[in-house]
Chain A
């Protein structure tokens, strides 16, 4: 296990490139938050308390649609469900001598990228490594979304219109490369988009609000896929994809 000094230095080294990437992603997330009616300060706080691009975006959709608090909780659970898998894997990286309190603190910072660098640490994990990486990634993420709202308010409307698709571009960039390698993922994505389109436009089902649609479709499609095509080995053994 690294000494505190080594862990601190390595955390800064590995956190910096993640933080700059976060800034750019969070900027477009800020545009989405602004479109949902969030102020810059509310966006800043929600970024600091969530650190989750898909989760936050899902939350903004729920706020914009004015759905119930219960639906919000369900939506966040679905959008962030993968963190359960990551945290349970990360749990094995803790040394038994590491004080328990660190589990509560490290838990705050589990994102796709932080998880990615944490599992690659040789031996057991010194939590200082995560903390020093978070010193850069948390401000990068939070300030990025803050400036997204501020500039979204200042820029001309045609620029904001163009920037509004940026977040979806990133979602596409996350899901398409694995789909190219794995035809099953590709099939699931196509099915998901087709059903999502049907739920948006077809009579009757289009009355289901956007947030509920995401929850229902995700749970149903993922359940069917998990029953028909169970994943045998550790799917997150070498995670280096996806955004927070």
Chain B
């Protein structure tokens, strides 16, 4: 089945909006359920982890360069580098390694 990019974009916009606006308008109460609260709390870490690996390795032209950038980015973030520093240095690592003739 052929998909229309504008319908995709509409779904993205509508679902994102509803997620944000329904708790503000229809529910208007704190979410009490411990399970739902815990679930929603864990979701971002898990979903970002799943979306980062192995997609990051496949994002650059050279998987080796991207793999090294992946490890370096984790080390940098672990030792307190800022969001911006981690992102820029990850790009720089890929750029420099891909300059090597044998990669």
Contact of B16 with A42 in the complex, beta carbons under 8 Å: no
List chain A positions with a Cβ less than 8 A from chain B.
Answer: 21, 24-25, 28, 35, 37-38, 42, 45-46, 49-52, 54-59, 61-63, 66, 68-69, 72-73, 76-92, 94, 100, 103-104, 106-108, 110, 157-159, 161-180, 185, 188-189, 192-193, 195-197, 200-201, 210, 213-214, 217-218, 221-223, 225-227, 229-232, 235-236, 242-243
Note all chain A residues with C-beta closer than 8 A to B60: 161-162, 164-165
Q: Within B35-67, which residues are at the interface with A (CB < 8 Å)? A: 35-56, 59-62, 66
State the Cβ distance, B33 to closest chain A Cβ, in Å.
10
Given contacts A61-B51, A196-B53, contact A168 B42 (CB under 8 A): no
Contact of A21 with B46 in the complex, beta carbons under 8 Å: no
Residue of B nearest to A90 (CB): B24
Contact of B46 with A165 in the complex, beta carbons under 8 Å: no
Note all chain B residues with C-beta closer than 8 A to A103: 21, 24-25
Given contacts A108-B21, A161-B60, A169-B91, contact A85 B12 (CB under 8 A): no
A interface footprint on B75-103 (CB within 8 Å = 1, 0 otherwise): 01110111111111111101100110000
Given contacts A42-B5, A161-B60, contact A80 B19 (CB under 8 A): yes
Contact of B83 with A166 in the complex, beta carbons under 8 Å: no
Q: Can you list 19 residue pairs at the A/B interface with Cβ under 8 Å?
A: A42-B5, A46-B12, A72-B11, A80-B20, A86-B20, A158-B95, A165-B59, A168-B52, A168-B56, A172-B77, A172-B86, A173-B81, A175-B48, A179-B45, A188-B46, A214-B50, A223-B39, A225-B39, A226-B38
Interface residue from B35, B47, B74 paired with A227 (Cβ < 8 Å): B35
Contact of B34 with A50 in the complex, beta carbons under 8 Å: no
Interface size class on chain B is 35 or more
Note all chain B residues with C-beta closer than 8 A to A83: 16, 19-20
State the Cβ distance, A163 to closest chain B Cβ, in Å.
5
Chain B CB within 10 Å, residue with most, of A61, A175, A176: A176
Contact of B82 with A173 in the complex, beta carbons under 8 Å: yes
Instruction: State the CA gap A214–B22 with chains docked (Å).
Output: 24
Instruction: State the CA gap A147–B40 with chains docked (Å).
Output: 32
